[in-house]
Structure 1
């Protein structure tokens, strides 16, 4: 059978500037160092690989490591035409090694951009969050604050400016709109920088860059979550948590745990969601962010409502509201901007919907809708209109529910968000007890096009 030349490998070998002989020599040296003395290669071996032969493990990874060092950019076995690196397993691990964390998140970003099927098909694994949450909390509580002002660097400022742009894109247009674009930006501009930072974990440039990278990796996870790609989202969030710890920003790590809690509860694991929210609050003992605290209490309330603990859920909402009263926007970090009246009231409305308090659900839904309308936030408006519709259904007012449902459809068409689609489908299910009433039929007909397209 005629072999197909490996153009990917040829590209990276050419870019490295290494001759076939020198590359073969380095392979032998690297094999010796990693305990594989039986591996031997020469210029003829490299030539066969370029012609299409697939070397046996661990040679593909050894080649990837050598070429990465030469070009100053993370090159994976996939890039070399040798198939996938073990992304699925590695990206669920909170690795103690900074270098392996950088390698893993770069591999994950590349797989995401290429939309590789194995990643999208992987399941969400609730238990995977247990170890990362524990390790982050222990590391955070062990860290001692360093003297001196917080470092502001020009390179990091440029990264942060892009973060603001992408966060606004997510808030206004939905996660599905900018997810791939942000992943490409991270792969090209951010992840390569992480691999070239100072080896000292206390280096201010490294810590500032890790903080910015953690923020944007979290946003990538959140966008994937909103786009319905939960396996990808979970992996980004775990790696974001590890980089947040590297930056020594406890509030940012707690914020990542809030995202993980939200995802766990949404996917039917409210007990895990509650535990993650509690871990985030414990981590805030080393930081002060009333906005993050309000979010964590809110997400614990969501989990408690799903668990059927009405009294504790209402108490958690009250604690969230008390924390939010202390928020001073100018003192919060940029990622906390979305934790506002539109978001929190929308989540409170979900809590009261789930515990059957229609009056409170309606009150908070209307508050959220008013805020969202002023800010032109269609996604939040759509989800809160859906809760408002349910509150009407809980009181038996189908006509009011139908009107709010139509507003949900109108706003959902303006964004690309799987959560909006799920809110519409939830409304359809909740209208089922009303049978073939003309308003139910009308809503289902109007919803059909939106749901089918999604």
Structure 2
């Protein structure tokens, strides 16, 4: 049984233009109108899904208005098409097919590139996050991802995308992602370079690697959006990355993305949902390299710590420590190389502090700061966490001492997450502001560049 039409406005325009019973003809005209965008291969099935709720990208809608305006002899606005506001990040639904994922990336990358600096609509949706986890874990694999298009994509082309991801990853770790310009630049590169490749021509082998590379880029942009406080945008990119990783048969990177979604849920206070996401990532990763498993168990520990589940938290920490002790035998994929004993110590510091186990938490402090010079933001986050843990433990002298070291670490970092840590530190110190030393630290925190 055919699904009912949900976009009556688009249906009416097609009928008025003579395409009511000629959806394939409309798709051919659309492909012709969009030839400068690369090789589109829309067909009658594409029109079917647009009529039933699927939203094409902004440049596709522009080609639709051009095609319909030519037939109707009058201007057509994008609003008349009935697809809703283009600036919305959408509903964060896990795409059912590779083509749907490609359409969704086109839409969201174009939106981000054109509307940088504008706060996006929507909030983190834990229900959609869990649905995406189920889709990633249990949907059948894609039989093939080969594609016919105008631009031929080679293995060498795909390698260049990994270099692009490395560049933005390094910039993010050094400076944070609070500047909307940084994310807009990345989105613009994705629109101009990666989008046409996804719509190009490639074999199944090249296509799988292309999907993995695109998932890596979507995952990096997701993490940058999360660091900038754009939580709906971050969630949408993680979900798209999950679908692309699924198409690329990369279960390890998919598990990593799901753990990132769990980390975001912890930040937003959705502890129990975060724990479920982390456990789904561990289950989906299967017999993964030790470093990957260490990271996943560390994420689960932070979720259980925030939820107050002491036994589950400590069990997850123990598993993470044991896994990290085995990393010499199998270092894992290149992208997990960032996760070091310092990152595990930071996770332990966080979750043990959440459980009120302050002495045990502070034992992690020296290792948590044993970071490479490129990890500027992580060093600042860990330093602020150490200071807050001292304050919560009642040692305001130590908290103030650590607060003074923050100025060196935060000067060049723009990060909403870091601002949140600084606010938490100030809130933990404020009950003791009658102390001159604490008051001085509060004044210094208030004028710290990262706090404004």
Q: Taking structure 1 as the reference length, what is the TM-score of the superposition?
A: 0.79
Q: How far apart in 2 are the matches of 1:121 and 1:173?
A: 25
Other-structure match for 1:108: 108
Structure 2: gaps (5+ residues) = 1-7, 20-25, 40-56, 66-76, 144-153
Count of equivalent residues: 393
Other-structure match for 1:165: 167
Map 1:351-366 onto structure 2 (within 5 A).
Answer: 351-366=351-366
Q: What SS class does the counterpart of residue 233 from structure 1 fall into? A: helix
Deviations 1:271-298 (A, max 9, x none): 110010011111112x523222111111
More helix by share: 1
- Tell me if structure 2 keeps the 8 A contact 1:94–1:239: yes
Q: How far apart in 1 are the matches of 2:310 and 2:269?
A: 17
Range that drifts further, 80-89 or 423-432: 80-89
Other-structure match for 2:420: 422
Relative to structure 1, is the Cα distance of residues 416 and 118 closer, same or farther in structure 2, using a 3 angstrom cutoff?
closer
Q: Taking structure 2 as the reference length, what is the TM-score of the superposition?
A: 0.79
Relative to structure 1, is the Cα distance of residues 114 and 61 closer, same or farther in structure 2, using a 3 angstrom cutoff?
farther
Q: What SS class does the counterpart of residue 93 from structure 1 fall into? A: coil
- Tell me if structure 1 keeps the 8 A contact 2:290–2:331: no
> Which residue, out of 179, 182, 189, partners 1:185?
189
Range that drifts further, 179-188 or 297-306: 179-188
Other-structure match for 1:153: 155
Deviations 1:50-74 (A, max 9, x none): xxxxxxxxxx999866633564266
Relative to structure 1, is the Cα distance of residues 215 and 356 closer, same or farther in structure 2, using a 3 angstrom cutoff?
same
Other-structure match for 2:38: 72
Relative to structure 1, is the Cα distance of residues 278 and 63 closer, same or farther in structure 2, using a 3 angstrom cutoff?
farther
Map 1:80-95 onto structure 2 (within 5 A).
Answer: 82-83=78-79, 88=88, 90=90, 92-95=92-95
Range that drifts further, 104-113 or 235-244: 104-113
Q: 1:408 deviation in Å?
A: 2.4
Other-structure match for 1:213: 214
Q: 1:303 deviation in Å?
A: 0.8
Q: How far apart in 1 are the matches of 2:329 and 2:422?
A: 33
Relative to structure 1, is the Cα distance of residues 362 and 282 closer, same or farther in structure 2, using a 3 angstrom cutoff?
same
Map 1:7-46 onto structure 2 (within 5 A).
Answer: 38-40=15-17
- Tell me if structure 2 keeps the 8 A contact 1:94–1:132: yes
Other-structure match for 2:47: none
Q: How big is the alpha-carbon RMSD for the aligned residues of Structure 1 and Structure 2?
A: 3.1
- Tell me if structure 1 keeps the 8 A contact 2:415–2:450: no
Other-structure match for 1:16: none
Q: 1:86 deviation in Å?
A: 5.7
Q: 1:409 deviation in Å?
A: 3.6
Map 1:336-415 onto structure 2 (within 5 A).
Answer: 336-369=336-369, 371-372=370-371, 374-415=372-413
Q: 1:114 deviation in Å?
A: 2.0
Other-structure match for 1:257: 258
Q: 1:160 deviation in Å?
A: 1.0
Q: How far apart in 1 are the matches of 2:330 and 2:138?
A: 29
Q: How far apart in 1 are the matches of 2:436 and 2:116?
A: 44
Q: How far apart in 2 are the matches of 1:341 and 1:213?
A: 29
Q: What SS class does the counterpart of residue 178 from structure 2 fall into? A: helix
Q: How far apart in 2 are the matches of 1:36 and 1:376?
A: 54
Other-structure match for 1:273: 274
Other-structure match for 1:49: none
Q: How far apart in 1 are the matches of 2:173 and 2:89?
A: 31
Q: How far apart in 2 are the matches of 1:100 and 1:119?
A: 25
Map 1:287-302 onto structure 2 (within 5 A).
Answer: 288-302=288-302
Q: How far apart in 1 are the matches of 2:409 and 2:318?
A: 29
Q: 1:115 deviation in Å?
A: 2.5
Q: How far apart in 2 are the matches of 1:89 and 1:124?
A: 11
- Tell me if structure 2 keeps the 8 A contact 1:61–1:76: no
Q: How far apart in 1 are the matches of 2:284 and 2:142?
A: 11
Q: 1:419 deviation in Å?
A: 1.0
Deviations 1:84-141 (A, max 9, x none): 666747451111121121111111011112236886232221111121100100137x
Deviations 1:284-315 (A, max 9, x none): 12x52322211111111111111111122111
Q: What SS class does the counterpart of residue 228 from structure 1 fall into? A: coil
- Tell me if structure 2 keeps the 8 A contact 1:227–1:417: yes
Q: How far apart in 2 are the matches of 1:426 and 1:293?
A: 30
Other-structure match for 1:195: 199
Q: How far apart in 2 are the matches of 1:78 and 1:322?
A: 54
